[in-house]
Amino acid sequence: MSFDCDLFVIGGGSGGVRAARIAAGHGARVQLAEEYRMGGTCVIRGCVPKKLMVFAAGHGAAMEEARAYGWEMGAPHFDWRAFRARLDAELSRLEGIYTRNAEAAGVILHNQRARLVDPHGVQLADGSEISARHVLIATGGRPSVPEGFDLPGVMTSNELFLLDDLPPSILIIGGGFIACEFACIMQGMGVAVTQFYRGAQILRGFDDDLRHHVAAAMAAQGIDLQVDTDLVSLEPLGGGRFAATDTRGARREFDAVLFATGRAPNTAGLGLEKAGVALSENGAVRVDEWSQTNVPSVFAVGDVTDRIQLTPVAIREGHAFADTVFGGRRGRADHELVASAVFTRPEAGSVGMTEEEARAQEAVEVYRTSFRPMQGAFADSDIKALMKLVVARDSRRVLGCHIVAPGAGEMIQLAAVALKMGATKEDFDATMAVHPTMAEELVLMRQPVPEN
Tell me: cis bond preceding 436? Omega within 30 of 0 counts. yes
Q: Alpha-carbon distance 423 to 445, whole Å?
A: 15
Q: What is d(CA 132, CA 6) in angstroms, rounded to the nearest whole number?
A: 5
> Is residue 54 within 8 Å of 343, Cβ to Cβ?
yes
Sheet strand arrangement including 231-238: 231-238, 241-246, 251-254
CB 135 within 8 A of CB 321: no
| 281: exposed, middle or buried (Cβ count in 10 Å: 0-12, 13-18, 19+) | exposed
Q: Is 357 exposed, middle or buried (0-12, 13-18, 19+ CB in 10 A)?
A: middle
Is 435 catalytic? The answer is yes
In angstroms, the CA 396 to CA 247 distance is: 46
Q: Name the E strands within 198-255.
A: 224-227, 231-238, 241-246, 251-254
Nearest Cα to Cα of residue 367 among 358, 375, 376? 358
Q: What is the residue type of 262?
A: G
User: In sequence order, what are the residues at sequence separation of 6 or more whose Cβ sits closer than 8 angstroms to the Cβ of residue 198?
Assistant: 175, 228, 229, 230, 247
Q: Do the Cβ atoms of 433 and 443 come closer than 8 Å?
A: yes
Q: What is the dihedral of CA 351, 354, 355, 361, to 10 degrees?
A: -110
Report how far residue 346's alpha carbon sits from residue 406's, in angstroms, rounded to the nearest whole number. 5
Q: Which of 134, 104, 109 is nearest to 36 (CA)?
A: 109
What residues act catalytically? Answer: 435
